Chain A
Amino acid sequence: SAVISQKPSRDICQRGTSLTIQCQVDSQVTMMFWYRQQPGQSLTLIATANQGSEATYESGFVIDKFPISRPNLTFSTLTVSNMSPEDSSIYLCSVESGQVERTEAFFGQGTRLTVV
């Protein structure tokens, strides 16, 4: 299993500013995932963060808007840049427990972002 500490838990930000979300895992993990849930929508994968290489972004998400850092095997940050009200969402980081056989995912507590 894995315990993930995510912060901040919530924030209200002005449009045009940036917010950095941090996730700290209590064990070393190869891949970390960043998701967001816009109001009324599904949790959607933004990117996969690998240690020692650039993050891999899903269709519709770009590095300039969502830069990700992964300095070591227990920590990652996601920045939401130049925010607009459309960025108001819940952001979640996630890791999976299996290395060879895929098993359940573990999640941070989420960051509830409101952009005004």
Chain B
Amino acid sequence: ILNVEQSPQSLHVQEGDSTNFTCSFPSSNFYALHWYRWETAKSPEALFVMTLNGDEKKKGRISATLNTKEGYSYLYIKGSQPEDSATYLCALDSSNTGKLIFGQGTTLQVKP
């Protein structure tokens, strides 16, 4: 059974702080690594899909890196804002079938 782990489980930061989360996965079973942002009562929204070792992607204040050899990805948020409050999910695509294996998520709360 493939396992995707995320840490921390939850995080409380002040507005303006920068923060980062970790996603770890089995490096021997990898096709792509996805990051999603999930706000309460909304659909999960894709942030990044990463496939290559060493990939770095950026969208505004959010960026992500990928290390497929050691099996981890980091998500960074620079200068957190209250609207960044959400649960951040990483998901492993291990089989190129569209099926995703999700971590438990990191819930971020940004206080104004």
Number of contacting residues on A, CB 8 A? 24
B49 within 8 A of A: yes
Contact stretch, chosen from B14-22, B65-73, B76-84, B95-103: B95-103
Q: Per DSSP, are chain A's interface residues mostly helix, strand or loop, or mixed? A: strand
When A4-B43, A107-B44 are in contact, do A102 and B99 touch as well, CB less than 8 Å? no
Residues of B within 8 A of A40 (CB): 104
- Category for how many chain B residues contact A: 20 to 34
- Could you give, for residues 23-43 of chain B, a 1 whenever the CB lies within 8 Å of some chain A CB and a 0 otherwise? 000000001101010000111
User: Are B43 and A108 in contact, CB atoms less than 8 angstroms apart?
Assistant: yes
Q: What are 25 A-B pairs at a CB distance below 8 A? A: A33-B99, A33-B100, A42-B4, A42-B103, A42-B104, A44-B102, A45-B100, A48-B98, A92-B43, A96-B98, A102-B32, A102-B49, A102-B98, A103-B49, A104-B34, A104-B49, A105-B34, A105-B36, A105-B46, A105-B98, A106-B43, A108-B43, A109-B42, A109-B43, A110-B43
Q: Which residues of B contact A (CB under 8 A)?
A: 4, 31-32, 34, 36, 41-44, 46, 49, 89, 91, 93, 96-105
Q: Which residues of A contact B (CB under 8 A)?
A: 4, 9, 31, 33, 35, 40-45, 48, 92, 94, 96, 102-110
